[in-house]
Amino acid sequence: MTIPHHRLDGPEDAPVVVLGPSLGTSTELWDPQMPELAARWRVLRYDLPGHGGSAPPADAVTVEDLADGVTELLDLLEIDRVAYAGVSLGGAVGLALALRAPERVASLILCCTSPRFGPPEGWHERAERVRREGTGPLAETAAERWFTPGFDGAAPYVGMLRTTDAEGYAECCEALARFDASQRLAGVAAPTLVIAGAQDAPTPPAGHAEVLATGIPGAGLVVIDGAGHLANAERPGPVTRAITAHLDRSWKGLPA
């Protein structure tokens, strides 16, 4: 894996929190959380292949490859252990990281994500469409998929999708098609919080967040009312409070 585009914010001596973005967004997805998080933690954000500042992938990628890319980034930055929070595909990357490198993940937050994102055929079809038409047509309906009908702040997030490289987006779709961690959840050792949007259409709590919270030992579940798929953007206050409360309990940078 190529090292992803990334940025660091917050106190240099604070414990590190990695933030993973969703399909079609960039590091800026997490801007609503940054004032609170970067005041108390060292925050590492990264872009998916072909998203934001990251180069498109040279080859096919899996979610596990993306997790290995995060591990390589941590090695490059000489960071041993982190807390990890991710939205949607970024959450799946965190789940894979916690399973593949448990010694690196001290705390885990899975937001609007799933151990399996539905039948693979839909993802293959979306990948083919984006390769054929680009991300523009998807952007026209993104607000409906990502947010509740009353949300009026969708434009910056839709803009992220419009600028995403078509091949990078398509390869990430293929990665989601192949991902299935539903039989491995018991192997997650990190203290875990699952956050769901009550009105999340792509990954509704039933069948997704609830499966994660039931399958991961000791996991907590917070369902945010009035939030769709990008809950951290639509309801930043309650999502940020849930994240910081979990980090306060589980990640102060102490040894394992």
pLDDT at 256: 40
Domain with residue 59: its CATH number is 3.40.50.1820
Q: Are 55 and 61 in contact (CB under 8 A)?
A: no
What confidence score (pLDDT) does residue 255 get? Answer: 40
Residue 181 domain flag: yes
- Split into its structural domains, the chain has a count of 1
Give domain status of residue 24, yes or no.
yes
On whether residue 1 sits in a domain, the answer given is no
Cα 174 from Cα 179, distance rounded (Å): 9
Assigned token pair, 20: 């993973």
| Stretches in the chain below the pLDDT threshold 70 | 1, 253-256
Amino acid type, 159: G
Does residue 222 lie in a domain region? yes
Residue 255 lies in a domain: no
Whether 200 and 227 have beta carbons less than 8 Å apart is answered as yes
Q: Nearest CA to 21 among 88, 79, 73?
A: 88
Which distant-in-sequence residues (6+ apart) come within 8 Å of 84 by Cβ? 17, 18, 20, 70, 94, 97, 98, 105, 107, 108, 109
Q: Is residue 256 part of a domain?
A: no
Instruction: State the pairing for strand pair 42-46/6-9.
Output: antiparallel
Q: Is residue 162 part of a domain?
A: yes
**Residues 144-177: tens digit of each pLDDT:** 999 999 999 999 999 999 999 999 999 999 999 9
Take residue 38 and report the two structure tokens written for it: 């970067």
CA distance 74 to 78: 6
Pair 74, 227: CB distance under 8 Å? no
pLDDT at 3: 87
Q: Return the number of other C-beta atoms located less than 10 Å from residue 92's C-beta.
A: 28
Cα 144 to chain centroid, rounded:
19
Calpha distance 222→224 (Å, rounded): 6
Asked whether residue 62 is domain-assigned, the answer is yes
> Which are the contacts of 183, defined by CB distance < 8 A and separation ≥ 6?
none
**For residue 195, what are the domain limits?**
6-250
